[in-house]
Structure 1
């Protein structure tokens, strides 16, 4: 299949893109080469080839979901600038409609 400038302009219009003639001509040639390469790939014999899901051999990066000892509340609250009744106190960020 050979792409022409009108088809590329039509697709660009559908995507709300506008190009001058020189750019449209350049993109038409580039897209045509890409489609030709895809056509070549579709001719490659792949019978018996397993699908590739990752290009690098990877082991699972997920750790086992086992309980671990956490820091105590006192240890965590020792790092906060302000606390109230065992909770972290932070500045209000929502306007309550009150005049200051």
Structure 2
């Protein structure tokens, strides 16, 4: 291995913490830490559910707007067709 790669690898190893060398948490912190982790997970889930609901409402609103625009275009197309029919009827 070239010296530059060795030096880069050593530098990365020095920057990364050695998780095995970290002191273990006391046993009394186990249940409290587990409860805190469960609360954090539940909070994350509730936030993601709330964000999904907001996105769903936004999309529903957008769909209603697009549907209204489509209906308007359909009405305009029918009106134009009616005008063309009347025009051709007058030409005859």
TM-score under structure 1 normalisation? 0.30
- Structure having the higher Rg: 2
Asked which structure has the greater RCO (Cα within 8 Å, sep 6+), the reply is 1
TM-score under structure 2 normalisation? 0.32
